[in-house]
Amino acid sequence: MVTNITNLGRSGLSDWLLQRVSAVVLALYTLFIVGFLLLSPGLDFAAWSGLFSQTWMRIFSLLAFISLAAHAWVGLWTVTTDYLKPTGIRVAAQLIIILAIFVFLVWGIIVLWGA
């Protein structure tokens, strides 16, 4: 049996479930943001920053960013394990990806609460 130590959930089944739950969260967040932008033609800074100063919007955004981190990791883990066969190159790529995901997550939290 092949033992995976780099996938997120430690089992294919939990990765599968994580990918779907995070996908639904991201789909809802995408629909919300696109819908908000479409319904606010003359959007200005006050309305835009007003939206992101709401506690529920910050929590919704944080949920989306965490889902994004999980979703990107499961997806890119699958892609890298499928196409990057040499172990050294694959693990190096995966380290860069996990670092990038970490940076995006921290950046997102700073944007939501830092200002």
Partner 1 sequence: MNSKRPVNLDLSTIQFPLPALTSIAHRITGVILFIGLIFAFWALDTSLSSPAGFAAVSDALAHNFLAKLVAWGLLSALAFHFVAGIKHLLMDMDIGVTLEGGVKKAQITVVVSVVLIILAGVWVW
How does DSSP classify residue 9? S
The residues binding partner 1 (CB under 8 A) are 20, 23-24, 27, 30, 38, 43-45, 48-49, 52, 68, 72, 75-76, 78-79, 97, 100, 104, 107-108, 110-111, 115
Helix, strand or coil, per DSSP, at residue 75: helix
> Closest separation between CB of residue 4 and partner 1, Å?
19
Q: Which is nearer to partner 1, 53 or 91 (CB)?
A: 53
**Closest listed residue to residue 57, CA positions, set 112, 18, 7:** 112
> Closest separation between CB of residue 91 and partner 1, Å?
18
CA dist 54 and 74 (Å) reads: 30
Over the range 61-76, which residues count as b (16 or more CB within 10 Å of their CB) and which as e?
beebbebbbbbbbbeb
- The annotation status of 83 as a binding-site residue, yes or no, is yes
Q: Which is nearer to partner 1, 1 or 11 (CB)?
A: 11
Q: Which is nearer to partner 1, 14 or 48 (CB)?
A: 48
Q: Residue positions in the annotated binding site for a ubiquinone?
A: 83
